Amino acid sequence: MDKLTQYMDWQDISALVFFILCWVGYAQFTEHKSQSSKSLLAVTNRYRMKWMNEMIRRDTNRTMDAIMIGNLQRSITFFANTTIFIVLGLITMLGYHDRSTEIVGNIPFAKESTPFLWEMKIFLLIIIFIYAFFKYSWSLRQYNYAGIFVNSIPPHKDCIAEYDTIVTKGSFLVSNAAKHFNNGLRAYYFGLAALAWFIHPYMFVGATLWVVFVTHRREYHSTTLANLSK
């Protein structure tokens, strides 16, 4: 810790620890709440269960289900590709400390970063977006598996005995894919909060609180949730 304080003061250390605790804590909170109370993910999971119930009744004509899964895959592919470009851009930013200091220095109340601290901030963003890429790619693979699963289901009359099992497996695949996609989006939100660290650690703390507030409101108190819950 003493060596760390040679490169980072307590403001930066406290802001970084606060950021990590908020992200991890909120992720654990949503994981628990989605199982025990009304949330946007929990409500849409019930619609995914209905989707699988309708899908299995369509016999062999399941074109709409394949199109739906394909549309979901395309949106996730866009985010995954964008994340790779963001990571590459961040890597190139490692060598632009002097130029960035000039830009940030013109912002009122901005706090100057040492070369070590500048690299630490960049690496934090790189880690965040690599995490997001892994979540998006795993979500994409889950939808691939869901597509294979849907196309492997026999006609309705031939799978009546396994009806509940098929519906449960299908809804789990698409629900799990949605959960990991949400985790990737949440990483984007917290990545935006981490950008505030380049200006000042106090702004970093404020942006982190703002992200927690916005994500909580959207997941638990949004008008979309109210409409879907009716």
- Compute the C-alpha angle 81/84/90, nearest 5°: 145
Whether the pLDDT of residue 214 is over 90: the answer is: yes
**What pLDDT score does 82 carry?**
94
The CA distance from 147 to 140, in Å, is: 11
pLDDT tens digit string along 108-158? 766 777 778 888 899 999 999 999 999 999 999 999 999 888 888 887 777
For the chain, the structural domain boundaries read 62-229
pTM for the full model?
Answer: 0.88
Q: How many CB atoms lie within 10 A of CB 208?
A: 24
**What pLDDT score does 199 carry?**
84
Please answer whether residues 68 and 170 qualify as being in contact, where contact means their C-beta atoms are separated by less than 8 angstroms.
no
For the ranges 151-155, 194-198, 223-227, the lowest mean pLDDT is seen at 151-155
Structure tokens at 146: 């869901």
